[in-house]
Structures are given as structure tokens and as C-alpha cells.
Chains A and B, each alone.
Chain A
Amino acid sequence: MSATAMGPGIGVPRTRASARPSFVGPLFAGACATSAWLGLGVLIVLLVGVLWQGAGWLSWSFLTNYDSRHPAEAGLLAGLWGSLWLVVLATLFAVPVGVGAGIFLEEYEKKGWLRTLIEINLSNLAGVPSIVYGILGMAVFVKMFGALQGRPKVLEIGLRSAHLDIPLPFGRTVLSGGLTLALLILPIVIVVTREALRAVPSSLRQASYALGATHWQTIRHQLLPAATPGIITGVILSVSRAIGETAPLLMVGAAVYLANSPGGIETPVDLVKHPGGVLEAPFDSFTALPVLIFNWISRPEKEYRHVAAAAILVLLGLLQVFNIAASVIRARFQRQARW
């Protein structure tokens, strides 16, 4: 605004003052709209490109075949099961630890240097590039710091109907990959848990205390049930991040070419038919969807581009399933919670 308009301030015509916002407002709205359409546009270009290249290559046999030296016969069965096992194991480890840590930080350690220390570490961890998690996973899980170098051990655990052989160090197994991904999503799970707990209305907490409930009972019967949908939504979203990770899996030794599924389980029916395979799977070698895609794209034969595109479609489809599940859970949660 010019000095004269600011001037004595009394006789400033209103039109002068309002002329500016009326021009800035629409400009700002336009800029925001452009940003939104830019994001959508990039996604559409990407999707159309992938569809163009890959749609014709999607077939049932693509889902049920292993990788092959002939592009027409290549399939992603090993990657599909590999990704599934990785995600299941990562969730199994990350959820109890992450939710536990979230409860601790939000409910028990309310102040003090320990909480500050953990919080700083968590935000650092959340910002660490995933390849660094891969290096960490290799050192800790695959090699166990080389402590057992040259004399690997097998930990044998006899169960009633099955036998569990745990190799030490874990080596390039599904377990190493799953634990590495668990570390990767752990900070997200912790943050999500804390936010879900903080979103529980304090009136609920007070009402519980006022009825003579202990802190533990309040957490168990009020806070956790109310926070669970939020936690589940966050876990699903963090899992959809984990399922697309490539770099850390390459570091912990995902195979680029593999013609068997972890534990020999190739169809959902096998889970029931060969329950022993479920116990073997975590200690089997593995590959994953993004690793297969990375490998196919780097091959010289042109046809593999199409194979990779088809695999990207499958991966995007899986992600979409996760995202829809997350929003369904969130919607149900919002319907139920009317405090």
C-alpha cells in the first residue's frame, strides 16, 4: 500500500483497501488449484504410461508363475508371497513395540530427559533414508555384527507338532527383511499411536479415574479401545509404505531371481495344507515385488519393461487395497465415536 493511502488513515477510501484482497484472493486460490491439479496430473501421466505398457501383460499366469528367462513366462509369485511375508513379519514386530513405546511416551513418561531423548531419536529415525535402515539391517540381523562369523549356529526349538530351526545369524532371510522393514515403520507406528491416544477426549479419561479405575485400567478399557481405529489406520498406511521399499531389501539380500516362495507356500490353500511351511517361511530366502520390478527394469530385453509395468500395476493395486482399508476403518471409527 502506498504511503498516501496509509497517510493520516482517516480519509482512506474503502475501495482502495478492498481492491487488493479481491485480486490476491483469486490468485491464491488459483495457485492452490494449480498445485492440486499438478499432483493429480503427474499421477495420471504415470498411471496411463504404466497401464499402456503393462496392461496387456497382466494375466493369471503372471500372478502364478515364478520369474523366468523368457519374458512371456515371467511371473511375480515369489515377489508376491515375499512381500506378503515381509509385511506380516514387519507388522508383527513393529506394532507391539511401536504401540508399547507410544503408550509409554504418552501415558507414563510425561516429562523429563528420557522422554526428550527418545523423542529426538524418534524424529531422527523417521528422517533416516531407507537405505541406511538396509545397512543397519544387514549388520544387525543378517550378520549379527559378525559375532558368529565362520561358526553359524542353528537354534533348534521343538514344538509339539513342528520343529523350528532358527539360523544364527539370521542371514538373507525373510526374517531379516521383515525386521528391517519393522525398524523402518517403527517411528511412524509410534507417532500414530501417540496421536491416537492424544485424540481420546480427556473427559473419558477423567470419567474413568473418577470411578476408581487405575491408570492401567483406564488405558486398557478406555484409551486403547478408543485409540485402536486410529492406530490401525496408521499401521496400514505405514505398511503400504513398507511394501514399496526396495533399497533396504536389496541391502539385506533380497534375491533378484528366485524360483520358490518362502516356506514353499504358493497358494493360500498351502497355508492350511502345509502348516509346517508357515514356520519355515521366515527363515527362507526371499524376494519382493519392488525388488522384482527393479530387476526387470534393469534387464536389457525390451519385453521386461512390460513385465515390470505389469508388476507395478499389481503393486499399485495392493497399495490401493491398503488405502481403501484404512479409509474404511477411519470412516467406521468416525461413525461410532460421537462423544
Chain B
Amino acid sequence: MLNGLSTIVRDRAAAQAALQPDLKASTKPKLEAHNLSFYYGATQALFDVTLSIPERSVTALIGPSGCGKSTFLRTLNRMNDIIEGTRVTGKVMLEGVDIYEPGIDVVALRKRVGMVFQKSTPFPKSVFENVAYGPRVAGHRGSKALAELVEACLRRAALWDEVKDRLGDSALELSGGQQQRLCIARALATNPDVLLMDEPASALDPASTAHVEDLIFELKQNYTIVIVTHNMQQAARVSDRTAFFNHGHLIEVDATPKIFTRPGQKQTEDYVTGRFG
């Protein structure tokens, strides 16, 4: 298992070097969590998580079910706010500004920090209207500019060629993989600089998964991506850094090749080699 993963890591690193020789993983932090704890009512789900997420890179969050990785992801754009009885302590800094500070515009925050969910959730509207939803609720008017924006987002999500003739059709008629790429296009339309992905490929077939992974690889040139995944190979394939969560604690975070080949913690090694979780 460990050997298989390290092969993936090496292959990926080679591919990346060939594709973008000048691109080095940036070290400038985009998002930083400081002593972040999170509570669902009386139950504590995250314990003192301190984690820095570099700009224009892919950070994978891995760990067994219920370890808090999705909860952590959702603290980054305050999606947990809509669940009653939740509480946060500590800080989440987005480019040096604490997003839990009073006076932070949560709506504006969510436009900058886009999110893609595990289950593709297209709105029961047309393909076009799905992508146009973010700009529209932001008060975007003018049909020509909007049409251009929608096309640009669909192109960036590698979906344009498949849907350009059916923009008016219901988004629910697309295939599962197309729906998920549509959700990515939709998230891009608010012009975010961070993309949070909560197991974006777990409900997709292998071909669609590969498509979405290629897309993530492309997108990191312009976006900071945080991805939750249950799939070790996927984490190894797409991410630059990997954070391992267990029981609400951040156990270890490091460069992906290191986590999958020479992890510093026994727990991490047990998990990535499939001995538990």
C-alpha cells in the first residue's frame, strides 16, 4: 500500500515538474487556523487545530469518518453557522483577517471562499441559471457580460464543450460527473480565490473522478484548494500538502509525499497504510 502510494506521489511530482517547471508550492499562507475548536452543542468536534494553508496549492484533509475533517473544512467559509447550536473558538485568518471577527460579512466571505459538496447539488434550474446563480444573487446584471462569465466558468470547469448546446436544459438531466463539474463551475462564478471541496468525487465513477482530479490539478494555478477525501490515492494524486485528522485533533500536516512515504506519526502511518480507518 505504502509503495503503491509513493509511486503515485512520484508520478504526480514528475508530471507536475514537466507541466509547470517554474511552479513551486507557494509558502505564503492563504488561510491559517489558530487554536480552532468547534462544538456541536456540548460535543466538541475539533480540538485546538492550528493549520496553515499555502496559497495556490492543494491541501488534502484525510482521516477516518467522524474525525472532524469536514467540520474543519466548513469552518473555513462559516458554513457551520447555519447549523443551530454550534460554537467556534480560536481564529481562522484569511489573508490575515479573522473571519470569525464580529462585523465580518459572511455573505461576502462565502463568495471569496467557494464550496463544492460531496453530493452534486445542481439547482432544479437550467445549466446556465445554475452557473449564473452566484453572480445574480450578488446583483450581477447585464446579460452579455453574464453569458461570457458563464461560458468562462464552464470552460474552466472543463464542461463547456459538453453542455454548450444545452445551456437551457435542466441541470438535472446531466450525468453525475457533469453535475459535479457544473457545481465546480457554479462555485467559480462568484470569483472566489479559495475553493473548498468536500469529497467532490466520492459519488462519481472512475472516469468522472479522473476528470474532476485533472480539473483540480488545473485549478490550483489560480485557486487555493482545500479538499476532504476518503480516498488515499486521490489525496496522493492531487494534493501538495496533506493534513491527517483523528478524533477532532490535527495529528500531522506535511508535504503530501512525506505523509505518504515517511509520516512522522505512528497513527498517520497506520491510517495511510490501511491498518485502521
Verify A207–B110 contact, CB threshold 8 A.
Answer: no
| A332, CB-defined interface residue at 8 Å | no
Verify B187–A211 contact, CB threshold 8 A.
Answer: yes
What is the CA–CA distance of A204 and B115 in the complex, to the nearest angstrom? Answer: 13
Verify B111–A226 contact, CB threshold 8 A.
Answer: no
Residues of A within 8 A of B17 (CB): none
Verify A337–B124 contact, CB threshold 8 A.
Answer: yes
With A210-B187, A211-B110 already in contact, the answer to whether A203 and B133 are too (CB < 8 A) is: no
What are the interface flags for B114-126 relative to A under an 8 Å C-beta threshold, 1 for contact and 0 otherwise?
Answer: 1101010101100
The closest CB in chain B to the CB of A210 belongs to: B115
With A111-B84, A210-B110, A212-B107 already in contact, the answer to whether A217 and B137 are too (CB < 8 A) is: yes
- List B174-214 residues whose CB lies under 8 Å from chain A: 183, 186-187, 189-190
Verify A208–B133 contact, CB threshold 8 A.
Answer: yes
Residues of A within 8 A of B115 (CB): 210
Verify A212–B117 contact, CB threshold 8 A.
Answer: no
Residues of B within 8 A of A110 (CB): 84
Verify B119–A210 contact, CB threshold 8 A.
Answer: no
In the complex, which of the residues B121, B138, B183 contacts A212, with contact meaning CB atoms closer than 8 Å? Answer: B138
The closest CB in chain A to the CB of B189 belongs to: A211
Residues of A within 8 A of B186 (CB): 207, 211
Verify B123–A338 contact, CB threshold 8 A.
Answer: no
Verify A213–B172 contact, CB threshold 8 A.
Answer: no
| A209, CB-defined interface residue at 8 Å | yes
In the complex, which of the residues A203, A205, A212 contacts B82, with contact meaning CB atoms closer than 8 Å? Answer: A205
A interface, how many residues as a size bin?
Answer: 20 to 34
Residues of B within 8 A of A337 (CB): 124
Residues of B within 8 A of A274 (CB): none
Residues of B within 8 A of A222 (CB): 123
What are the interface flags for B68-81 relative to A under an 8 Å C-beta threshold, 1 for contact and 0 otherwise?
Answer: 00000000010100
Most buried by A among B79, B110, B187: B110
Verify A203–B121 contact, CB threshold 8 A.
Answer: yes
Residues of A within 8 A of B77 (CB): 210
A214: shortest Cβ distance to chain B, in Å?
Answer: 6
Residues of A within 8 A of B138 (CB): 212
In the complex, which of the residues B79, B84, B107, B187 contacts A213, with contact meaning CB atoms closer than 8 Å? Answer: B107
Interface residues of B (CB under 8 A from A): 77, 79, 82, 84, 107-108, 110-111, 114-115, 117, 119, 121, 123-124, 133-134, 137-138, 172, 183, 186-187, 189-190
| Sample of 19 A–B contacts (CB below 8 Å) | A111-B84, A205-B82, A206-B82, A206-B121, A207-B121, A207-B123, A208-B133, A208-B137, A210-B79, A210-B110, A211-B110, A212-B107, A212-B111, A213-B107, A214-B137, A221-B133, A336-B124, A337-B124, A339-B124
